[in-house]
Amino acid sequence: MIEDLKGDESWRMFRIISEFTEGFDKLSDIGFAVSIFGSSRLKPGTEYYQNAHEIAGLLAQHGYTVITGGGPGIMEAANKGAAEQGKLSIGLNIELPQEQKPNPYQNMSLEFRYFFARKVMFVKHSMGYVCMPGGFGTLDEFFEALTLMQTLKIHPLPLVLFGTAYWDGLLQWINDAMLKYEAISEHELNFITVTDEPQEVLVTMNRHREWKERLMKEATQESQSVLGIDAP
């Protein structure tokens, strides 16, 4: 049954506020986190399921929290890869009439009714995105992040498209249509990394984490200088 967003607005606002409040509260101290997106329809044993499992395991081994949409397929593979390393494996689950069945590999689980509240949690608490082969939902998350960076609403974060064969058609269209007609600028494509190598995903995230840590250290030193505190 489709939930109409019209009507009962005042009561619906309380539900929306509660989803934001719980999300901000539970995710406030998860450290450096990477969100992994991809199709719920890709089964265990398929190539990209195995890739997602490996990528999540690599990230977890190097201290990253892994966040997914909490469902089956690629999301299950990523949560499983992180959980097997004993690291934080988060699922941001969404109520859907079909497909969304929470996977058992989440050691932190949140429930959402509204996509927009859930999307805020991904953007706010992720240091980077890995987009495995997926459908409209994966594209939605990918282009949302691109738009927010393009419009300077969020700080830059690495966007990795994993699977060159899968994403080649999309990237070709972006270059042949969007770039050709100047709907976007060429430098905006620098946010995107395309790869078939799990190790390159890790290298990309490590490079960005080092940059963020350097900025955080410089900001701390600047604050200490203003307050007259000697840096350790």
Distance CA 79, CA 226 (A): 43
Give how many domains the chain has, as a whole number.
Answer: 1
Q: Indicate the burial class of 19 (C-beta count within 10 angstroms; 0-12, 13-18, 19 or more).
A: buried
pLDDT at 2 over 90: no
Task: Enter the pTM of the model.
Answer: 0.90
pLDDT, the chain, mean? 92
pLDDT digits (tens, 9 = 90+) for 66-113: 999 999 999 999 999 999 999 999 999 998 876 568 899 999 999 999
User: 21 in helix, strand or coil?
Assistant: helix
User: Contact, 69 vs 90, CB < 8 A?
Assistant: no
Query: Does some domain include residue 173?
Result: yes
Query: Does some domain include residue 4?
Result: no
* Position 12 confidence tier, pLDDT thresholds 50, 70, 90: confident
CATH code for position 159: 3.40.50.450
Tokens 């990528």, located at residue: 55
Q: What residues make up the domain containing 16?
A: 9-227
Distance CA 163, CA 132 (A): 7
Query: Does some domain include residue 95?
Result: yes
pLDDT digits (tens, 9 = 90+) for 181-211: 999 999 999 999 999 999 999 999 999 999 9
Query: Does some domain include residue 154?
Result: yes
Of 15, 216, 46, give the one whose Cα is nearest residue 116. Answer: 15
Query: Does some domain include residue 180?
Result: yes
Query: Does some domain include residue 152?
Result: yes
Query: Does some domain include residue 232?
Result: no
147 membership: H or E segment, kind and range: helix 136-150
Of 70, 208, 231, give the one whose Cα is nearest residue 149. Answer: 208
Query: Does some domain include residue 2?
Result: no
